[in-house]
Amino acid sequence: MKEGGEGFVRADQIDLKSIDEQLERHMNKALTMERNKRKEGDDDFATIDIAVSPRAIKNTTFRKQKQDWEIDPSKLIIKSVIARGTFGTVHRGVYDGQDVAVKLLDWGEEGQRTEAEISSLRTAFIQEVAVWHKLDHPNVTKFIGATMGSSELQVQTENGLISMPSNICCVVVEYLPGGALKSYLIKNRRRKLAFKVVIQLALDLARGLSYLHSQKIVHRDVKTENMLLDKSRTVKIADFGVARVEASNPNDMTGETGTLGYMAPEVLNGKPYNRKCDVYSFGICLWEIYCCDMPYPDLSFSEVTTAVVRQNLRPEIPRCCPSSLANVMKRCWDVNPEKRPEMDEVVSLLEANDTSKGGGMIPLDQQQGCFCFRKFKGP
Ligand SMILES: Nc1ncnc2c1ncn2[C@@H]1O[C@H](COP(=O)(O)OP(=O)(O)OP(=O)(O)O)[C@@H](O)[C@H]1O
């Protein structure tokens, strides 16, 4: 599917029949695999309270018990593509008169994805809905609803409204026009941010994470790309694709997930981890927000892993950074997860900062500038 101009998708570029056929084949395969997986006693779904009933397939439409998070597809209009993510495409849309972002699950061309990939995509999709639909906080992108397959979805094209193939899965969330926090930091990489703005952004993120942890959710992919800004620059946590309900036994949570530069050493090492991996990633985000820079720009993936795990490498904190903030960063990225603070403590530490006297990182190219970094490291 390609983007059209003026917020439209070109109708002639949507091959509805073949998408429908692909979906039908993929859905059946994925459901068979899921059924087999359940028979084998896989308890992956133990924490997911979505009723996915493989029995309920009729005429290729994926039917299930109506969930409280299900949208009314007739009220949703899908518009142009905003971005392409791991799942598929993210579109702008309108739901019941409200501006929304619509994440559509893309099953890929026939033969493009293996059955295992399709199954894991679908599991991730279900997982994202399972986690997200329960959340309600000003610093978490508001979940509006989802559908796991509907014949009533419509896409707005240059030629009017066109029905989407049945079985399309989508998640509908509030539309956030400010873009990703990462892009905002990149925009300000030369000028840097006022201390007041640094604290505001950091507090938003810290409050959002503290809320998630209070709900026993570990985000597992905390990074500035996954944080979106609303029109008044409030940070909202987005992308719950790999978020999980925290396991009561830490040994139940292992596996590399997240994004390298933000990943805690225990995650990089494949060791058991808990919510403290989010605290580590928050520490890296805090550094990034203060510096408007990227951690480890000159290192390759493998160099980052080795250096973080074996040499305790962390981003270099500029000398102009107030100790109150530098200490939060250092505590958050402590190698020992138990020594890292809880997110609610981080919120209190950030709230204690006095921002009335100005401050903030001094751009390197100013005469009296900050020479903490040896050279400019633009993203
Ligand atoms: N609520 C939203 N409002 C506006 N834009 C959004 C919204 N949600 C997502 N986007 C846009 O879509 C992009 C991808 O979104 P998201 O990260 O949620 O998708 P994803 O499929 O999980 O991608 P990935 O896992 O690769 O990060 C975001 O970087 C952002 O540009």
Q: What's the ipTM? A: 0.95
Catalytically active residues are 221
Query: What does the pLDDT read at residue 120?
Result: 75
49 has pLDDT over 50: no
Of 283 and 120, the one with more pLDDT: 283
Query: What does the pLDDT read at residue 7?
Result: 45
How far, in Å, CA of 379 to CA of 377, rounded? 7
How many whole angstroms from 296 Cα to the centroid of ligand 1?
24
8 has pLDDT over 50: no
- The closest-lying atom of ligand 1 relative to the alpha carbon of residue 239 is 18
How far, in Å, CA of 357 to CA of 82, rounded? 39
How far, in Å, CA of 379 to CA of 373, rounded? 14
Phi/psi at 90 (nearest 5 deg)?
-110, 125
Query: What does the pLDDT read at residue 247?
Result: 64
How many whole angstroms from 178 Cα to the centroid of ligand 1?
12
Work out the average pLDDT over 123-133. 81
Angle 115-132/16-39 helices, nearest 10 degrees? 80
Contact 102, 91 (CB under 8 A): yes
How far, in Å, CA of 95 to CA of 171, rounded? 11
Which of 125, 221, 239 gets mutated to test ligand 1 (max ligand atoms within 8 A of its CB)? 239
Which of 82, 89, 90 gets mutated to test ligand 1 (max ligand atoms within 8 A of its CB)? 90
Q: Predicted confidence band at 355 (pLDDT cuts at 50, 70, 90)?
A: confident
- The string of pLDDT tens digits covering residues 280-293 is 999 999 999 999 99
24 has pLDDT over 70: no
- The partner residues of 81 in beta bridges, in order of sequence, read 91
- Ligand 1: lining residues by beta carbon, under 6 Å: 82-83, 85-87, 90, 101, 141, 173-176, 180, 226, 228, 238-239, 241
Based on its alpha-carbon atoms, the radius of gyration of the chain, rounded to whole angstroms, reads 22
Work out the average pLDDT over 184-191. 94
Mean of the per-residue pLDDT values for the chain? Answer: 76
Atom 4 of ligand 1, nearest CA residue: 176
Work out the average pLDDT over 228-245. 86
Query: What does the pLDDT read at residue 316?
Result: 93
Atom 15 of ligand 1, nearest CA residue: 85
Work out the average pLDDT over 90-99. 93
- The closest-lying atom of ligand 1 relative to the alpha carbon of residue 179 is 31
Atom 12 of ligand 1, nearest CA residue: 83
How many whole angstroms from 138 Cα to the centroid of ligand 1?
18
Q: Predicted confidence band at 180 (pLDDT cuts at 50, 70, 90)?
A: very high
135 has pLDDT over 70: yes
Q: Predicted confidence band at 168 (pLDDT cuts at 50, 70, 90)?
A: confident
How far, in Å, CA of 182 to CA of 159, rounded? 36
- Name, of 46-60, 98-112, 250-264, the range with top average pLDDT: 98-112
378 has pLDDT over 50: no
How many whole angstroms from 364 Cα to the centroid of ligand 1?
32
Three-state secondary-structure class, residue 153: coil
Query: What does the pLDDT read at residue 51?
Result: 29
- The partner residues of 146 in beta bridges, in order of sequence, read 70, 171
Which of 79, 80, 81, 82 gets mutated to test ligand 1 (max ligand atoms within 8 A of its CB)? 82
Atom 19 of ligand 1, nearest CA residue: 85
Q: The tokens of 52 are what?
A: 């996915």
- The closest-lying atom of ligand 1 relative to the alpha carbon of residue 177 is 4
Q: Predicted confidence band at 161 (pLDDT cuts at 50, 70, 90)?
A: confident
Query: What does the pLDDT read at residue 338?
Result: 96
Query: What does the pLDDT read at residue 187?
Result: 96
How many whole angstroms from 236 Cα to the centroid of ligand 1?
12
Query: What does the pLDDT read at residue 273?
Result: 83
Question: Judging by DSSP bridges, how do beta strands 170-174 and 98-105 pair with one another?
Answer: antiparallel
How many whole angstroms from 102 Cα to the centroid of ligand 1?
9
Q: Determine the distance from the C-alpha atom of residue 49 to the mean position of all C-alpha atoms in its chain, rounded to a whole number.
A: 21
- For 349, residues 6+ apart whose C-beta sits below 8 A from its C-beta are 324, 327, 328, 341
